[in-house]
Chain A
Amino acid sequence: MTDRPDHDLLCTPPPTTGPPTSDLAEILERVLDKGIVIAGDIKIDLLDIELLTIRLRLFVASVDTARKAGIDWWETDPALSSRARRDALAEENERLRERLDAFESGELTAAAPAGGDGA
């Protein structure tokens, strides 16, 4: 008989134990929209509340929901997304091109007046 589930963290070596909100997140994801739906007399849209107040911060919505809600965590976290990887590379390329342009359009001569003619 336990008041709350125990967390078995054996062998998981996070540098710090998880923030207390993770426990709340686990409870919320279970109490908000689970269970046989029997209509109560007071109509309250829990999904509304969830979306407004916590899903945006505590949860990563399903990927589709996240996209609809404008959350791009999944796509911009370079750790998880190949698209983000491409974006990051594109940005990198863009910056390099700008630097190359700058070099080729005279700054190179200014910076290196003594450069010899090749060949």
Chain B
Amino acid sequence: MTTPPPVLTYAFAVCRPYDGPAPTGLTGLDPGSPVRTLPTGPLTAIVQDVPAADHTEEALRRRLSDRTELERCARAHHEVITAVSSLTATVPLPLATLYRGDERVREALCAKEASFLTALDRLAGRTEWGVKVYAPTGPPAVRETPAVDSGRAYLDRVRNRHQGREQRQNAALQAAERVDAVVRGLAVATRRLRPHGPEATGPQRTHILNAAYLLDTTRTRELRAALTSLRRDEPAIQIELSGPWAPYSFTDTGAAP
């Protein structure tokens, strides 16, 4: 006779109790136990039992510092949150929010009940969209001047090249601000995220705007139309739209401290 290995309760998200089926087909963090709902008064946590041994502080630090394992965990976490948020207004919790059992989850939700309810009200009927703007990096084909070249002409050429590059970058940054202004006009909230580095963007372009916007779902069509216009009007930059996302970037603003 063996005792079952100890488990922790992993909390993915918080929502209100909702009618309809619980999300199915989700693996979550551990294929050995189901992703389930944990009703607590006016709130419901989306949780899963996970092996305690894999989720000690030390084990988490080791696993999440491994690129492959970090990606697996992040995608599993994201998949559950996306599934729930397609059903009902959802407050996503950060990766690796862990409790020593269901009772501790209930206590945590009770302690923050008012904040969660306020956030859920604000997020209802809204989704997050990401807008990323890139400026092409490499210089556009420079017309080479003939080899006969005085020192002064050489210096002029170098200076012109640098000035041209800087002007293009300034123009791209201003174009990005115009994009932000247009999308901001459609949104109820905005957050700037960090631009991505070359490993994520590739070498041919520089990430100059990374922003998240919270929009009423009724404005999705307007958003897409605005992006189409912006792409036409701003040929110097590349504009990418991603979404709809669960409202990851908008769960803390306005919450009671």
- For residue A119, CB closer than 8 A to chain B, the reply is no
A31: chain B residues at CB < 8 Å are 74, 77-78, 81, 92, 94-95, 248
A8: chain B residues at CB < 8 Å are 224, 227, 240-242
B228: chain A residues at CB < 8 Å are 10-11
The digit string for A9-31, where 1 denotes a CB below 8 A from any CB of B, is 11111111011011011111111
What CA separation (Å) do A78 and B71 show in the bound complex? Answer: 32
- For residue A54, CB closer than 8 A to chain B, the reply is yes
- For residue A117, CB closer than 8 A to chain B, the reply is no
- For residue B30, CB closer than 8 A to chain A, the reply is no
The digit string for B44-73, where 1 denotes a CB below 8 A from any CB of A, is 000000000001110011001111001100
Q: Which among A21, A37, A44, A85 is the interface contact of B61 at CB below 8 angstroms? A: A44
What CA separation (Å) do A42 and B118 show in the bound complex? Answer: 26
| Given known contacts A58-B199, A59-B200, A36 and B251 CB-to-CB distance under 8 angstroms | yes
| Given known contacts A24-B71, A59-B197, A89-B159, A12 and B97 CB-to-CB distance under 8 angstroms | no
Q: Is there contact, CB below 8 Å, between A2 and B86?
A: yes
The digit string for B76-113, where 1 denotes a CB below 8 A from any CB of A, is 01110111001000011111111110001000110110
Query: Considering the complex of A and B, which 6 residue pairs feature the smallest CB-CB distances, nearest first?
Result: A30-B248, A25-B200, A42-B98, A8-B241, A11-B231, A31-B95
